[in-house]
Amino acid sequence: MISREPTIERLATAKSLLLTPFGLDESHLTRALNEIRAHRVDEADLYFQYTRSEGWSLEEGIVKTGSFSIDQGVGVRAVSGEKTAFAYSDDISEASLLDAARTVRSIASAAQAGRAKSAAKKIAVGRRLYPDTDPISTLDSTTKVALLGKVEKLARAKDPRVIQVMAGLASEYDVVLVARADGTLAADVRPLVRLSVTVIAEQKGRREVGSSGGGGRFGLAYFSDAQIEEYVDLAVHAALTNLEARPAPAGEMTVVLGSGWPGILLHEAIGHGLEGDFNRKGSSAFSGRIGQRVAAKGVTVLDDGTIADRRGSLNVDDEGNASQRNVLIEDGILKGYIQDAMNARLMGVAPTGNGRRESYAHVPMPRMTNTYMLGGDKDPAEIIASIKKGLYAPNFGGGQVDITSGKFVFSASEAYWVENGKVLYPVKGATIIGSGPECLKRVAMIGNDMKLDPGVGTCGKEGQSVPVGVGQPTLRMDGLTVGGTA
């Protein structure tokens, strides 16, 4: 058997699902794009998508929900200057394609009309970061339900205080095809799975919740017995720890953030502020600051869509550009922004492989992939031991940020009070309050334990949600404001 080059293989898969069943081929795509280019535009593209999703949830030993869906359609976009015209349809046909093309070309005035020449065909070179697997088919339904049952049995066996267990298993098979006015064709086949575990523990009338889980771009076989037990251990530990938690103190203090998922603070407080659209419009706290010091020495922040199997990774972005490893901040100096095609063109720079959209029914915009800080040279134990009085937060919950000011508020889902380098007791209700640009300058120690999150992140922006990854080493930040319940 002769195998084809991965880029060609993905393109063949995309055509077989998104063009052939509807009587379409590349000539129809060229015709639609030429309809748009009959009026002069800066950019135009067609974005076809086929998505098959499945979800199972179990509670009290019973399968509460089981869902399966298929969605497919095409989005048609034309861009002229800063203006975008966009139309989409779940009817994939020549007629709907041409109708959408004629609609969006109205963004350019008829006075600019001119005969468009067909662009030479180019197949975009992408990466091969994950298998072209349909994860839904990697386990049968009986085995999926048994997997969730195993989660519940393990959790209840960990401690008699565990009174309720909820588990969910989600799988998605996503195939996209991008055709651009410059003749570029690109395709991607994106598997995505996630297992989530939530437990409720009770003691003396007090109830607390703990959660865990993970996933990525691979099949369901990833969730081995050992992996499932790790998720269960973490969820049960979090719930039992919170049962013993005291009210969190409030005030300005030293805060040490754990490695991995606490990088969500980095994503929200800094990452969004480095997206190209906010900086082009001058609405970010980082606007116009390339080449300037924006963080303490030793702080290097990357957005990297090229990490194998990661939830936020992409072979190509949703505009057909290959994903990249982008250095945003290097040793405290701002080096660049995250760009899609339109904002890159308007800012006079190259796209960075960060043009992303939730689906064919949405326009692309600059979005993060896997955003993380590189590790330093300190042992995590040394960092915790350096706290005279302060908070150690190894796990985070939700949060929010104001892009313009960079101000953020985050809740710690697991935190401990530390005095004279000793972890004394868990605390509950701690919120971290601050400014993204300012907190970067307050980084005093950087651990050597950089870790990515387990594969659970979803980022929201302007009503669109996309899967992302975050990560960081253990960090000590001095003089952060903690809002507590004490």
Mean pLDDT by 10 residues, the chain (486 residues): 71 97 96 92 96 96 93 97 95 96 80 57 85 96 96 97 98 98 96 98 96 98 97 97 95 96 89 95 94 96 98 97 97 97 97 98 98 98 97 87 83 95 95 89 96 95 96 96 81
**Residue 196: which of 396, 358, 56, 53 has the closest Cα?**
56
Taking the model in full, what pTM does it have?
0.94
> Could you tell me how many residues make up the chain?
486
pLDDT for the residue 109: 57
pLDDT for the residue 117: 60
pLDDT for the residue 111: 41
**3-class secondary-structure state, position 18:** helix
4: exposed, middle or buried (Cβ count in 10 Å: 0-12, 13-18, 19+): exposed
pLDDT for the residue 106: 83
pLDDT for the residue 1: 38
pLDDT for the residue 406: 80
C-alpha to C-alpha distance for 263 and 278, rounded to whole angstroms: 21
pLDDT for the residue 2: 45
